[in-house]
Amino acid sequence: MKPRILIIGGGYGGLRTAMTLQQHLHQQAEVTLISKHDYHYQTTLLHKVAIGTLSARKSRIYFRKILDLTKVQFIKDKIIEIKPDSKQVIGNGGVYEYDYLVIGLGFKPEGFGIKGVEEHAHKLSSLNAALKLDKAIEYKFKEYCHTKNQQDLSIIVCGTGFTGIEFAAELGSRLDELCLIGGIPRDIPKITCIGRSDRILPMFSKKSSAIAQKKLESFGVEVICGGDVQEVKTDGVVIRKDGELKEIKGNTILWSAGVRGSDIVEKSPLENTKGRVKVDAYLRSPQYENIYVVGDCALCTSRDAIHAPTAQLSAQMGDYVGKSLLKILDGKEQKEPFKFVHRGTVCSIGHTDGVGIIYKQSINGEFAAFLKNFIENKWLYGIGGAKLVFKNGQFRYRTSN
């Protein structure tokens, strides 16, 4: 009997594991990838889907089109339980047995128990969630001519990290067009971005934060730093800032203030913190040698610092786990611990601007935007070659007014 490798989740980590395996496997193992969708999508582009600048069609990358199905079996199923002791995974559609398990079940939004987050806020947690937000915004701009309700065009973004800022900037840079299309005076729509930290994008240098904030404000986005969200309502957000309570009004609210791991991992016998498993140096569960965890549901440290969960980290984890499994199948041992190479991070600010760090060098402006696109297209190239870049890739163009 061939060893069975089961990969659950088809995000950056799971998919890269499968791709690495299929590239080098010669029938030494049965590899199965299970995902609840037929398609992979780039989580890093969900803000574009939510604004309608990236179409649903372009954002779906179908597993059966990019996988070599003679080497990796694909099953569409939603995983509901992990049973490490019986080496089984339970899905809605059946029970799956494995010898090696790779968990890449991604993230969930973290509401920190704040009242109303669950019920009243949109989240950019999946492609479908992004499409729903797109519809909601489009509908409100479309109906404004009837409702004349300014609140309908007031959008509140909770969170001044990557997702929140990229979303606010993408929307900000589209406001001119949305107003033109809908015949709406430009001063009606309002975007407010609220964060707890004392500056936006705290992972970057102070200078980069300032540049990003200036650019955001040029789109008309109001930035509130040091604001602690107390409650999310249907028509606004209550914050505490400088010791005082204040209510920001707006009928569309995005919650992008935090993420946690997977709830399937959380309720599994695997030791975890909020759905994230603190993996060993080889990205394995410390309890089960045959279980690997990649992506956002892995807590991965180096020199005692926890790596921030990013697509870049997830993809490198997937590559590493794929290679580890290939070694094991060859009867060898993986002796090299996982080492994250932080090439850089870029936050796009609209289509033609951005800030970031590349190889420890701060960058901004058009070059940052170019790199951001380059990074996304490189991912597409890695999983589907030039054809996929051509079909699904993003190419920069200035939007016309």
For the annotated catalytic residues, the residue numbers are 166
- Strands 154-158 vs 190-194: parallel, antiparallel or unpaired: parallel
Instruction: Candidates 26-34, 142-150, 257-265, 266-274: pick the segment binding its own copies (CB under 8 A).
Output: 142-150
Closest contact distance (angstroms) between CB of 54 and its own copies is 9
**Distance (Å, whole) CA 318 – CA 9:** 11
Q: Which of 2, 62, 80, 281 binds its own copies (CB under 8 A)?
A: 62
Work out whether 145 is an interface residue with its own copies (CB under 8 A).
yes
DSSP count for the chain of H helices, then E strands: 11, 27
Structural tokens at position 121: 């806020």
Q: Which of 267, 332, 391, 396 binds its own copies (CB under 8 A)?
A: 391
Closest contact distance (angstroms) between CB of 37 and its own copies is 9
Burial class (CB in 10 A: 0-12, 13-18, 19+), 274: middle
390: closest CA among 377, 379, 400? Answer: 377
- In the window 66-85, what residues touch its own copies (CB under 8 A)? 74, 76
Closest contact distance (angstroms) between CB of 219 and its own copies is 19
Query: Which residue blocks in 111-248 are alpha helix, DSSP H?
Result: 117-120, 127-147, 162-182, 206-218
Q: Residue 3 or residue 382: which is nearer to its own copies going by CB?
A: 382
**Distance (Å, whole) CA 49 – CA 61:** 14
Work out whether 52 is an interface residue with its own copies (CB under 8 A).
yes
Work out whether 360 is an interface residue with its own copies (CB under 8 A).
no
Binding mask 179-218 for its own copies (x = CB under 8 A): -xxxx-----------------------------------
Q: Which of 30, 38, 176, 263 binds its own copies (CB under 8 A)?
A: 38
Amino acid at 267: K
Question: Partners of 155 in the beta sheet?
Answer: 191, 252
Q: CB atoms < 10 A from the CB of 316, how many? A: 23
- Per DSSP, the three-state class of 83 is strand
Structural tokens at position 327: 């070694």
Closest contact distance (angstroms) between CB of 62 and its own copies is 4
Q: Residue 148 or residue 207: which is nearer to its own copies going by CB?
A: 148
Question: Partners of 357 in the beta sheet?
Answer: 345, 362
- Per DSSP, the three-state class of 277 is strand
Structural tokens at position 318: 């997937």
Work out whether 235 is an interface residue with its own copies (CB under 8 A).
no
Closest contact distance (angstroms) between CB of 163 and its own copies is 22
2: which DSSP letter?
P
The number of residues that bind its own copies (CB under 8 A) is 24
Q: Residue 64 or residue 206: which is nearer to its own copies going by CB?
A: 64
Instruction: Candidates 117-125, 176-184, 226-234, 246-254: pick the segment binding its own copies (CB under 8 A).
Output: 176-184
- What DSSP element (H or E) covers 61? strand 61-62
Q: Residue 130 or residue 232: which is nearer to its own copies going by CB?
A: 130
Q: Residue 146 or residue 303: which is nearer to its own copies going by CB?
A: 146
Work out whether 344 is an interface residue with its own copies (CB under 8 A).
no
66: closest CA among 328, 383, 361? Answer: 383
Amino acid at 52: G
**Distance (Å, whole) CA 250 – CA 122:** 13
Closest contact distance (angstroms) between CB of 76 and its own copies is 6
**Distance (Å, whole) CA 129 – CA 145:** 26
Instruction: Candidates 62-70, 294-302, 344-352, 372-380: pick the segment binding its own copies (CB under 8 A).
Output: 62-70
Q: Which of 26, 57, 339, 360 binds its own copies (CB under 8 A)?
A: 57
Q: Residue 93 or residue 337: which is nearer to its own copies going by CB?
A: 93
Q: Residue 272 or residue 392: which is nearer to its own copies going by CB?
A: 392
What does the binding site for its own copies look like in residue numbers (CB under 8 A)? 38-39, 52, 55-58, 62, 64-65, 74, 76, 93, 142, 145-146, 177, 180-183, 387, 391, 400
